[in-house]
Amino acid sequence: MNVHVRSGPDTRLVIVGGDGLVSDNRVGVSAVESPAECAGLLFPAASDLERSRAVRVVPLPEVPRGVVVVHEDLARAASLSGAPGEDWLLRAEPAVVAASVVLESGAETLPDACVRQLQGSSALDGQVFRHEPGARSATTWLHADGVPYRVRSVTDGSGNPLTGLLRIGVTTTLHLFLPGNRTGIDVVILADCSGSMSWNDVLDSSDVGRFGSRSDAYVTRMDALKRALREMADVRLSTGGRPTRLALVRFTKGSVPVFPRTGGMAEVGDEATIEEFRAAVGLLKPEDAGTDIGQALHHASELLHRYGTPHNERLVVLVSDGADWAEKGVDATGEMLAATADPVSLVEELSGSLGIRLHAVGVSDEATFWPWWERHHRRDRGEPHVSIVPNHGLLRRLVAVGGGDPTRIGGTDVLREYFGELGAGVTQTVGHPRAGRLPGPQSEIAEAIRETAGSETDIRRVDLAERISLLYSSCVEASRRRIGRPIYRQTNDIRALHRVRLPVRSRSAFAAWVLDVHKVFHEQQESALNSPPETCSYPIPGIAEIIWDGRLGRIHTMRLETAHDKVGRNNDNKAEQHQRAIGEIYLALTGRYHLADDDAMGWTRLQLGLMEELAGMLGDIYDVLNAKSAPTAADNDGEQEGGGFVPSDNGSIRIQGF
């Protein structure tokens, strides 16, 4: 219980991936320093108590003294990179075992299903969490087998409220709260009507043959959605529950309300209104168009803001197969997300400022899609185009920041179950959690500890990150002083540049990293530089040639790959060229054409190679910005020739974005 490990010359923070003992908020320490499990707080650099993370400190025999092992998800959430010299603190703290915890489901789930899930889960036993209702981040979430539950209240044996660092034990009584009839719910359903919804790969669970056998009948994704919506209306008419005000909106590149006919929102409860809703559902059909989730979410928030009832719960239900979605700033062809706004940032803002929660329902999924394709289309069509393959990655990211439940994926039974749950709500006592048993440690822990012992790659990554940050700021200032405006606009995500230094040891970590790099150095660069050198209007000669020499292009190519964007729709040659380009980048920087998802060393090599190229590109840009050349009109505004800005060796330059 005396664990107190602070960053320093003799201590190290080791970051691992994968599933195992060190995951969620469990951290591993030396068994010598902590013979028994305890609770604690992990503090990032120069942070206060509110930014600390509640953790379970678990002793591991393979961890030496002075080493703290954390999962990459926890490290990313705490903005820790594991770099030498980084400031952090792990401190053991006593945690009070709660006598009673009231949880609220993150989904509009039927009470009985929630109770069964909680009673059958052993994941809650031993969970450590901070509950501070008056703090900035007042909402506390616990996860039971991947399902999120919001902590509403915690009390001791006398019924007195508990706050601070708390723990759930086998003696804790769990209660499930689902709001009753006194609180209504305002729901906007966003129905994806893009072209991919016309594919008939959804297994029809209602098609039962003789003697109760299940047939292999399939329906289109749109038919599955429409059937589920109609059944939702039937459930709402036959059961009471929470007053529900509803709007149904179909969207592609634009949003069109289809219920109620007069616009706004309508309470669904009487037969006439529900019949109108059924008729509106019948109008839904796939269109030959792309999807713009940014404007759809804006439309939903406008409806809830203008027509929602005060004090009602606000909910957006987004239903899509995910197959046609890309992300902000992506150049692609064919059916794609236009992304007038960054959907993840937008949902985060709606959840934080307006209290709007987002749920996402995934129609179809890859697990059922591929067998269906093999059986029905492989012989005559070959490989399916990426635009029709279900992809729920963006849905999961939206739900993660929107306060909803994990994306539901599957056939008509999943959709029927989900929409049938919107009207239900009761409060029940769950009982005591099942005794938990921790999983074994990841096999990569020992390897990661060896790698980080004086790790040259960590030192190299940190050095490169510092060079990139310094050159980025230098280029911004030099361009501003030479032509009056910066070569890079500042991104709304002020931590994106800082996250460039985070380690990459898995495919998922690399995907997050390359998104941040692309956000800073591609999406925010001077718009004139998006044109090739022969048509570029940027006033300083030579800059466009550097931007287009392939180094930034490789980052853009990897960004397209990790985001599962469509490249070469209806153009096999373009798709093949893209895949060859990916392979050439892998081979040049890692020595292989393919990396396994958990190939830590391979993903590290890929990251460092791209960082080397990025630092080189920025250095070349800085040299050109400061080179003596024929003055442009902007050069003659009284500014010092060559930008008048030279980075000093003592690190006194202000780094933009920090």
pLDDT bracket for residue 260 (50, 70, 90): very high
Tell me which amino acid residue 306 is. R
pLDDT bracket for residue 353 (50, 70, 90): low
Handedness of CA 97, 101, 105, 111 (dihedral sign): positive
Mean pLDDT across the stretch 291-296?
81
Which residues have C-beta within 8 Å of that of residue 185, sequence separation ≥ 6? Answer: 108, 179, 242, 243, 244, 245, 312, 313, 314, 315, 422
Q: DSSP character for 189?
A: E
Would you say residue 369 has pLDDT above 60? yes
Would you say residue 636 has pLDDT above 50? no
pLDDT of res. 410: 46
Residue 620's alpha-carbon distances to 242, 300, 498, 588, in angstroms, are 63, 46, 22, 21
pLDDT of res. 482: 92
Mean pLDDT across the stretch 342-367?
74
pLDDT bracket for residue 457 (50, 70, 90): confident
Which residues have C-beta within 8 Å of that of residue 342, sequence separation ≥ 6? Answer: 294, 327, 328, 492
pLDDT tens digit string along 461-486? 888 998 999 999 999 999 999 999 99
Cβ burial 436-464 (10 Å sphere, 16+ → b, else e): eeeeebbebbeebbebbeebeebeebbeb
* Six token digits for residue 550: 């392939």
**616 vs 551: CA distance, rounded Å:** 9
Asked if residues 517 and 488 have their Cβ atoms less than 8 Å apart, the reply is no
pLDDT bracket for residue 334 (50, 70, 90): very low
Domains annotated for the chain, with CATH where assigned, are: 4-94 (2.40.40.20), 96-178 (3.10.330), 185-430 (3.40.50.410), 454-644 (no CATH)
pLDDT of res. 27: 93
**366 vs 372: CA distance, rounded Å:** 10
Upstream peptide bond of 260 is cis (omega within 30 degrees of 0):
yes
pLDDT of res. 544: 94
Residue for token pair 């287009």 = 548
Asked if residues 142 and 149 have their Cβ atoms less than 8 Å apart, the reply is yes
pLDDT bracket for residue 534 (50, 70, 90): very high
Would you say residue 171 has pLDDT above 90? yes
Query: Within a 13 Å sphere around the CA of 389, how many CA atoms are in the beta-carbon half?
Result: 16
**Who has greater pLDDT, 532 or 575?**
532
Would you say residue 427 has pLDDT above 70? no
Handedness of CA 477, 462, 620, 617 (dihedral sign): negative
Residue 341's alpha-carbon distances to 304, 346, 491, in angstroms, are 19, 7, 13
**10 vs 392: CA distance, rounded Å:** 43
pLDDT of res. 535: 93
Would you say residue 194 has pLDDT above 70? yes
- Ranges of beta strands (E only) in 299-416 are 313-320, 356-363, 408-410
pLDDT of res. 552: 93
**397 vs 391: CA distance, rounded Å:** 12
Mean pLDDT across the stretch 573-598?
88
Query: End-to-end distance of the chain based on CA atoms, in angstroms?
Result: 36
pLDDT of res. 546: 95
**488 vs 433: CA distance, rounded Å:** 52
pLDDT of res. 371: 86
pLDDT of res. 338: 41
**Who has greater pLDDT, 80 or 543?**
543
Q: How many CB atoms lie within 10 A of CB 30?
A: 20
pLDDT of res. 481: 93
Would you say residue 629 has pLDDT above 70? no
pLDDT bracket for residue 9 (50, 70, 90): low
Would you say residue 623 has pLDDT above 80? yes
pLDDT of res. 574: 80
pLDDT of res. 64: 80
Element (H, E) at 515: helix 507-521
Would you say residue 648 has pLDDT above 70? no
Would you say residue 450 has pLDDT above 50? yes
pLDDT tens digit string along 372-411? 888 888 777 888 887 788 877 777 777 766 655 544 544 4
The percentage of residues in the chain with a pLDDT greater than 90, rounded to a whole number, is: 26
